[in-house]
């Protein structure tokens, strides 16, 4: 396979000291094989464990690894926004750092770039709890009702896009679990083409999931309504 000219990969991380080292190592091995110029960014979102220290050690050994540290937790959406805006190369990928995805599967995303500007992963079989799967179904219905968005798995934390997409769309205004929805909605509204690729989803072995907490779900719901209002306002300008 011919190497890509450039690739940025960022990994949002919150309290992932037991997973982040293995995930970064896996990503680095892949990007070295598929890209001429590359960077792997860990967005440490105010972790209270040793995630920051682990990444600092990795960055000392591998110059392509970079740490961006949030002094306070901004939430998953905040980490996504930082990664999108701080990535410097012409292709940008991101993947959750919890070990539930295999970055080798990025090779299945790449052919889609011939016809799409944004490639969304979707989990072929989710290994999450029934509650998490139910929340995903509710989100998919809400996205259809509020935004006319019909994609299989908008909150799958494995995506690839052209940097020009990030530069073109309006700045993201949400900072929660709904931020991925906002990103995809704005990409679609800007006229970019979207493709979807099935990926494997492995059980979480280490660490704790936080995305299903009631406070996070409620904030996402609140920001979803806020986003709908903002988009309506933008439409009427």
User: For position 228, which CATH number holds?
Assistant: 3.90.550.10
Residues 74-109 have pLDDT tens digits of 999 999 999 999 999 999 999 999 999 999 999 999
pLDDT at residue 170, rounded to an integer: 86
Q: Which residue has the tokens 């396979």?
A: 1
Q: Exposed e or buried b for every residue in 74-101, given b needs 16+ CB within 10 A?
A: bbbbbbbbbbbeebebebbbbbbbbbbb
Count: domains in the chain: 1
pLDDT at residue 120, rounded to an integer: 98
Residue (of 200, 181, 186) closest to 234 by Cα position = 186
pLDDT at residue 183, rounded to an integer: 97
Which carries the bigger pLDDT value, residue 129 or residue 68? Answer: 68
Say if pTM beats, i.e. exceeds, 0.85. yes
Residue 211 has pLDDT above 60, yes or no: no
Residue 37 has pLDDT above 60, yes or no: yes
Q: CA 81 to CA 173: how far, in whole Å?
A: 9
Reported as a pLDDT band with limits 50, 70 and 90, residue 138 is confident
pLDDT at residue 233, rounded to an integer: 86
| Strand order, beta sheet including 4-13 | 65-70, 35-45, 4-13, 91-95, 158-162, 118-123, 194-199
Reported as a pLDDT band with limits 50, 70 and 90, residue 140 is confident
39-48, 116-125, 200-209: which has the minimum mean pLDDT? 200-209
Reported as a pLDDT band with limits 50, 70 and 90, residue 204 is confident
Domain extent for 28 = 4-235
């Amino acid at each position: 396979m011919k190497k890509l000219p450039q690739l940025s990969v960022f990994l949002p991380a919150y309290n992932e000291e037991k997973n982040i080292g293995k995930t970064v190592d896996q990503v680095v091995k892949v990007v070295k094989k598929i890209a001429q110029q590359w960077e792997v960014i860990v967005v440490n979102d105010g972790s209270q464990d040793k995630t920051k220290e682990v990444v600092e050690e990795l960055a000392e050994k591998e110059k392509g690894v970079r740490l961006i540290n949030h002094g306070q937790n901004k939430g998953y959406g905040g980490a996504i926004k930082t990664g999108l805006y701080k990535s410097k190369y012409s292709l940008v990928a991101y993947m959750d750092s919890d070990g539930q995805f295999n970055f080798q599967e990025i090779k299945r995303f790449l052919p889609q770039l011939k016809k799409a500007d944004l490639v969304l992963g979707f989990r072929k079989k989710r290994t999450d709890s029934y509650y998490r799967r139910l929340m995903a179904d509710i989100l998919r219905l809400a996205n259809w009702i509020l935004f006319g968005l019909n994609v299989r798995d908008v909150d799958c934390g494995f995506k690839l896009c052209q940097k020009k997409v990030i530069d073109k769309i309006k700045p993201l205004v949400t900072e929660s679990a709904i931020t991925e929805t906002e990103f995809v909605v704005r990409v679609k509204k800007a006229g970019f083409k979207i493709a979807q690729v099935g990926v494997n989803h492995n059980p979480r072995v280490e660490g704790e999931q936080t995305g299903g907490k009631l406070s996070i779900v409620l904030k996402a719901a609140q920001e979803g309504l806020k986003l709908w209002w903002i988009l309506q306002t933008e439409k009427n300008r």
